Structures are given as structure tokens and as C-alpha cells.
Amino acid sequence: MDLEQLRELDANDSLASKRVEFKIPEGLIYLDGNSLGPLPAGIEQRLQEMITQQWGQDLISSWNKHQWIDLPVKVGERIAPLLGAAPGQVVCCDSISVNLFKLLGAALQLNSPRRVVLSQQDNFPTDLYTAQGIAGLLGDARCQLKQVSSDALYDALDETVAVLMLTHVNFRSGAMHDMRELTRRAHDVGALVIWDLAHSAGAVPLALDADNVDFAVGCGYKYLNGGPGAPAFVYVAERLQQRVEQPLSGWMGHSAPFNFDAGYAAAAGAKRFLSGTPPILSMAVLDAALDVFDGVDMQDVRAKSQQLCQMFLGLMRQLELLPKMPCASPANDKERGSQLAFQHGDAFAIAQALIDQQVIVDFRAPDILRFGFCPLYTRFEDIWHAVHRLSEIVTSGTYKQEIFNQRGAVT
């Protein structure tokens, strides 16, 4: 494989024109869109207008005049097609952690007296922390978190399980679960499912409705490019909506918030999963960021993502890097999301040395170097440069320098 071949792939790439819809600093190779998506080109203007006109001039009348009050539903409806969800089932709000708390509370209540929340040992920690918090609040008799390894999930799915709570694409390894099959098996034993789509939404095609999923959450600031701390989203299958109650009942999820009734009465549909006042500026940014998905077929995104990963692995092999840093992601590309993980004792320092060379990646404790591939702006040529710079760093040992070994608060 040589640079010319990769440039040829870029020249024939149907998604290549999407790159100009992002503001990526000149010379930067950004392989970290799975942690924080880059700035879409239309955002600055949208935010400027929000601030000067809507907030600055129209002030509180903007809740009606500029439909601020409808944003959680409107943005949810724009995310829905990326999830394979029909209208009326997705709302945009809060963070994944807060939304998981709501969903776990709702699902446990719906499936009472069962109490087991089955999850995976190496799930993203916040998912496990949220379940631990619910268990502390409800007590052992109503919630018990059971964590097993990925291989043991099928065996652990039995008639005691109230909720199967999993992350679709593992944040470290990129391993992707079979959503349809696990959901089916959970339903066979009478369990409900909650899927965390943090590394899936906007990265891989999803079919929540067709797969019969009950609940899901996902992230606004990763592959959806909504900016730091962008609000998350919740999916609640239509068939369950009128039967579920969520524990963070707040006025935005009330059926008539401006009646200011003393008693709570849940809004119809997925809207009952709203709690407090939406962060309008952040939500408007996410709304504008979703423009980049207009006209994009997720199957094309998936095909390019797999090709980018294959090229990356091919170059790692060609430059003989794999014996030094084995791939920790599934070898079969049907079994992984849009990222690759490599194991190395000095993964942190290597990530810092790569960042110093304008290749933005991240480190995940204890020993993973993680590369995320977002097909909307990553070029095949970028892959060539990234692997060659990595090879130079690993072979020369420059990462051993002191400056590459100092850790900040965020890694």
C-alpha cells in the first residue's frame, strides 16, 4: 500500500465533499471524533444569531417566537433517523448519566418485582456508577447490579433479570454487540433492554425499531459533533411510553408545565423523560451540527469506516508495528464500531508524542491507544500519515521523553 493508492481512494470517495462542512485546523489529523467531534462550519453563525438576536433582543419571548420550548423534541426528531427510529420516540436532554438514571428507574419499576440489572464488567464506568447509585437509593430488594464479562452475558440472561443494560460499542476496544440478538434473548426471558449508543450514533447504522429495543441513550458531543458537553438523547419505544414513569419527574416533562399544578402529571410520549429547562444555546448548536448528516446514508458511512480501519490495520502490519502494540479490537470488522485500539505499556506517552506530531488520538487507561475514524471528515491520506508518524515515534523511542509523560486532569 502506498500514498498514491490512498489518494486514489480519496479521489473516488462519495463522502469526501463532507469534509468542508467542518472546521478542522490546517495540518491536523483528527482521530478523536469519538471523544469530541470537531466544529461544524455553520455553528459560529448560528450561535451568534442565538446570542445577539434571540437572547439579546427578543429575550424571554424567544421561548415562543423562536420555538425554544420545542427544541428537545425537534432535535430528538432529527436524531431519530440516525437510530432507525420512527418519529415520537426520541428526545434530546441532559447527559447520558442523568438519562440512564431515569431509564433504569423507569425500567426497574416496569419490570418489578424483578431487581437484577445485568451489565458488563468493562462497560463505560458512568453506566455502572449510575446503576450503583440507583441500587443505593432503592436498596437491595429492588435493585441489584450484576456485572459479568462480555462472553458470559448470554448465560447470565435468565428469568431473574429485570434490565439488560449494555453499551453497544465498547469505549475501549471498539467491540460491537449484536443488538438484535441480545435484545431478542433478553425479551425471551422477560427482561427489558437499555442500550448506550455513545459510540454508535452517527458512526454505525442502527435499527432500534426493527431490533425491538426498549430504551436507549446516546451522546451529543461525540459522533454527532454537538460541541463540548452537548446534551444527550433518550429513546423510548412507543409501545412502552404510556406505561413508564421516570424518577426525575420535572416540570418540562409535565403534561401542562405552565398550569403550575402542584401535582405531577406526565406528558404523553417520550416527552415525559424531560426534567428541567433545556440548555438552549447548547441544544441549538447540536441542532445546527446535525445539518452535516443531511443527505448522508449511514450505510455509506459504515462502508468507509470499515475501509479506513482496514487501511489503518494494513499499514500497521506493513510497518511491523503490531508485534510491538497488538490490536485490542476484534479482528473481524463486522464485530467492531468505528475505532481501533492498540495495547502498549507506554500508550499514554505515545499518544502525547502523536498529538505533538499533529495526530490527535487518545489514551484509555490502563494501556490503550485509541484511534477513532469519522468518515465524514477523515481522509484515507490521513491514515497513511498517522501510521507513519506512529511508526517513527515507536521505532525511535521519542515518546520516552519526560514531556510526553506528564498527565493532565483529563486523559
Least distance to ligand PLP, CB of residue 201, Å: 11
Residue among 221, 218, 220 at smallest CA distance from 206: 218
Which position among 78, 364, 370, 379 bears the catalytic label? Answer: 370
Helix/strand/coil for 151:
helix
**Nearer to ligand PLP among residue 132 and residue 358 (C-beta):** 132
Select the span of 120-128, 147-155, 156-164, 360-368 touching ligand PLP (CB under 6 A): 120-128
Select the span of 91-99, 258-266, 331-339, 354-362 touching ligand PLP (CB under 6 A): 91-99
The owner of cell 450514533 is 201
Q: Is 370 a catalytic residue?
A: yes
**Nearer to ligand PLP among residue 171 and residue 380 (C-beta):** 171
Least distance to ligand PLP, CB of residue 290, Å: 17
101 contacts ligand PLP (rule: CB under 6 A)? no
The rounded distance, in Å, linking the Cα atoms of 409 and 411 is 7
Contact pick of 22, 124, 235, 371 for ligand PLP (by CB under 6 A): 124
Residue among 382, 411, 207 at smallest CA distance from 309: 382
Q: Is 221 a catalytic residue?
A: yes
Q: What type of residue is 7? A: R
Contact pick of 77, 127, 333, 362 for ligand PLP (by CB under 6 A): 127
Which position among 221, 342, 373, 380 bears the catalytic label? Answer: 221
Label residues 168-185 b or e (16+ Cβ within 10 Å = b): bbbbbbbbbbebeebbeb
The rounded distance, in Å, linking the Cα atoms of 134 and 119 is 14
The rounded distance, in Å, linking the Cα atoms of 233 and 247 is 17
Asked if residues 6 and 384 have their Cβ atoms less than 8 Å apart, the reply is yes
CB atoms within 10 A of CB 232: 29
**Nearer to ligand PLP among residue 75 and residue 96 (C-beta):** 96
Rg (CA), the chain: 22
Least distance to ligand PLP, CB of residue 76, Å: 16
The owner of cell 438523547 is 233
Contact mark string toward ligand PLP, 225..244, x via CB under 6 A: -------x------------
Contact pick of 1, 9, 95, 205 for ligand PLP (by CB under 6 A): 95
219 contacts ligand PLP (rule: CB under 6 A)? yes
**Nearer to ligand PLP among residue 31 and residue 394 (C-beta):** 31
340 beta partners? 371
Q: Is 124 a catalytic residue?
A: yes
The rounded distance, in Å, linking the Cα atoms of 206 and 200 is 8
Contact pick of 32, 77, 196, 362 for ligand PLP (by CB under 6 A): 196
Contact pick of 114, 199, 272, 364 for ligand PLP (by CB under 6 A): 199
**Nearer to ligand PLP among residue 37 and residue 253 (C-beta):** 37
Segment 318-322 long-range contacts (CB within 8 Å, at least 24 positions apart): 318/1, 319/387, 319/388, 319/391, 321/387, 321/390, 321/391, 321/394
Asked if residues 399 and 349 have their Cβ atoms less than 8 Å apart, the reply is yes
Contact pick of 171, 215, 223, 293 for ligand PLP (by CB under 6 A): 171
Least distance to ligand PLP, CB of residue 231, Å: 9
Q: Is 178 a catalytic residue?
A: no
Which position among 101, 124, 215, 342 bears the catalytic label? Answer: 124
Residues with catalytic function: 124, 196, 221-222, 370
Q: By the criterion CB under 6 A, which residues form the site for ligand PLP?
A: 95-97, 124, 126-127, 167, 171, 196, 198-199, 219, 232
